[in-house]
Chain A
Amino acid sequence: MTAAEPGRADGPAAGAPPEDAEHRPPPAGPLGNAVAAAAVAALGIAGIAGSVPLGLGSAAEPSAGTWPFLVSTAITCLGIALAVRARQTRDAEAFSSASWRVVFGLASMVGFVAVIGVVGFEIPALLLSVCWLRFLGRESWRLSLLTSAGIVVAFYLVFVGVLAVPIPHLF
């Protein structure tokens, strides 16, 4: 049944032999799926709580809270539906030790945005690039430093030189 499996945009082909399949983390267990479902339901409830003070209005006179309330209610119901089916869910992935790479990647971006207003974009961009190349990409120090320097120079020329974007910069 290929027609029922459109495949993920980045995933392996449905029916590809195992030697070509990419290395994927193991599927999430019932607990992970239940947590995801609970998060969805909680979001819906938070949405409902946020809509009520805005005024629910009526069908004849919808108010600011009417639509968010309807949408949040739908989210809550869908979250409950997911929770009911948590045991049969197989399309979620578990977190693995490789997930730390994502945390590291995110942290580098948070660091970037935290200091960009203070020291300009050049140094944070250089550091972010070196981190990604050296630690996430496992490239050599030499290649990491040279490539990163090249990237920063190119960005400076394009965004500051050509486009004259008022991004905070040192030079």
Chain B
Amino acid sequence: MDSLAPMLDGFGVVLEPTNLVYCLIGVVIGMLVGVLPGLGPAATIAILLPLTFGIEPVTAIIMLAGIFYGAQYGGTITSVLLRLPGEASTVVTVFDGNALARQGRAGTALGVAAIGSFIGGTVSIVALSVLAPVVAGFALDFGPPEYTALALLGILLVATVSNGGRVKALVAACLGLLLATVGRDTFTGAERFTFDSLALADGIDFVPIAMGVFGLGEILYNLEERRRAAAPAKVADVWPSRKDLRQSAGAIGRGSVLGFFLGILPGGGAVLSSLAAYALEKRRSKTPERFGKGAIEGVAAPESANNAASTSSFIPLLTLGIPANATMAMIFGALLIQGVTPGPQLVSEDPELFWGVVNSMYIGNILLLIMSIPLVGLFVKILQVPASILAPITVLITLVGVFTIRNSAFDIALVIVFGLVGYLMKKYGFDPGPLVLAFVLGSLLETSLRQSLLLFGGDVTGFATRPISGTLLALLAAVILVPVVRGLLRSRRREPERVAERTDA
């Protein structure tokens, strides 16, 4: 196993004091944003992007990755104690986690969630270490047609499973693709959509878009009097009993495996896997009626799954250069800014970065486990800092931060414009995630599409005849057609369903 040496060297990278400190900073920030409902990990990473410029690429990504998986731990706390999911991926934890809290067993729920998260995360890192180099080796032969199909599939899958309507998610994705075309065309040198502005000639930077639609958009959206009732439950006895652990062991195991596989899929990620893991446990259970009334498996499974998924969603990013979800798109952007192009060559050409980031997740998960059990009380206190104080600080960090990237006041104006865009999108039910993801993949998609067309001499069937791109396109067709067919079937029995919806509401 000659692949073992660079992996072990990766531990050397992680154990450098600077990297350890940034890993700690990352997971603490992640846990904080997880606890605070509102700003998610994608928005936080967007806001902190400017601060990562001055540091080494591997250190920067270690910190940003820590924010991502740390948020999965933090989100649990508010789900259990306040019945408010701090993160979308902890929505299902609310059902049983809060029921447990009302029975005075909040500590047990949080403890099991932390242990499940730790196991899910760790299982997933081990599997990632084995699988990622294999995938990367396989992907080395990918040419422009394969990348065209892959990027299309990734964007489409994210749009399909995103929150809100599919059509709206596709609009957001197309908007991202269109924004990516602004600036000088790399093939012909023609200026596109620049309106003769010098500031737009080099295209729109990724950071103002991400900071605008995620960061400012979110803050503006929350300005509209979306108050939350804060009455945290008391936390006592965080250590779960042996009986609780035995009861949740199976759920943790199944959740970890399920989360790992769903996390690899583009568009999968933490949210989907936590929902799927909860559904699986409920279906498997001999006593499904306990679910929603304080079943410990209902906390263990989704929490293990969302952590496993958040780790495994690094696989497509680090091996194919295709981000699987909006947060991965942010990390993709951060890598590009650092001058690192994620792709199949990353494992062999930059093993220090690859294994440094992967192995930092072991440390990060250990730190999170250590922090989440004894420090739960502290994080609950942080919840009492009113949003009205955090909002202006976040706004100023965004406005000043975006300036620091290119030292340009134009970028401040841009981030405000995209803040408005993000607000309007959320207001009208358009998920901004696909926009940012598509923007990041936009130039890759266009370039590889045009290269493929030149390669095929304009013969579009060339995509279908190459084995890998053909398979990917078949998948793509399935993703498009399955919902359409299901929609047609559903519209046949629409009337009874409408009645059901009304009684639900």
Contact = CB atoms under 8 A, between A and B. Distances in A.
Interface string B175-193: 1011001000101101011
Given A22-B227, A92-B429, A74 B174 contact: yes
A8 B450 CA distance: 36
A93 B165 CA distance: 14
A136 B388 contact: yes
B389 A133 contact: yes
A6 B272 contact: yes
A170 interface: no
6 contacts: A13-B94, A72-B178, A92-B428, A109-B395, A117-B409, A133-B388
Interface in B56-96: 79, 83-85, 87-88, 91-92, 94-95
B229 interface: yes
Contacts of A20: 83-84, 229
Interface in A85-107: 85, 89, 91-93, 95-96, 98-99, 101-102, 105-106
Q: Which of A28, A33, A71, A125 has the most CB of B within 10 A?
A: A71
Interface in A33-82: 33, 36, 40, 43, 47, 50-51, 54-55, 58-68, 71-72, 74-75, 78-79, 81-82
B47 interface: no
B168 interface: yes
Contacts of B453: 59-60, 62
B222 to A, nearest CB: 7
A68 B84 contact: no
Contacts of A79: 171
Given A10-B221, A78-B174, A113-B413, A159 B400 contact: yes
B392 interface: yes
A166 B276 contact: no
Interface stretch (B16-24, B315-323, B419-427): B419-427
A24 interface: yes
A63 B161 CA distance: 33
Contacts of B229: 19-20
B416 A167 contact: no
Nearest to A76: B174
A160 B129 CA distance: 41
A113 B416 contact: yes
B367 to A, nearest CB: 24
Contacts, number: 224
Interface of B: 37-38, 40, 54, 79, 83-85, 87-88, 91-92, 94-95, 161, 163-165, 167-168, 170-171, 174-175, 177-178, 181, 185, 187-188, 190, 192-193, 216, 218-229, 271-272, 275-276, 278-279, 386-389, 391-393, 395-396, 399-400, 403-404, 407, 409, 412-413, 416, 419-420, 423, 427-429, 446, 449-450, 453-454, 457-460
Given A102-B223, A116-B412, A117-B409, A137 B389 contact: yes
A6 B169 CA distance: 14
A43 B175 contact: yes
By Cβ-Cβ distance, the 8 closest A-B pairs, closest first, are: A137-B388, A60-B458, A91-B429, A132-B392, A59-B458, A64-B190, A64-B185, A98-B224
B391 A71 contact: no
Point out which of A13, A20, A67, A75 has the most chain B C-beta atoms below 10 A from its C-beta: A67
B396 A129 contact: yes
Contacts of A36: 428
Contacts of B413: 113
A116 to B, nearest CB: 6
Nearest to B413: A113
Given A9-B163, A12-B84, A60-B458, A110 B416 contact: yes
A133 to B, nearest CB: 6
B181 to A, nearest CB: 5
B419 A91 contact: no
Nearest to A3: B275
B192 A54 contact: yes
B388 A71 contact: no
A14 B294 CA distance: 17
A101 B179 CA distance: 28
B178 to A, nearest CB: 5
Nearest to B53: A163
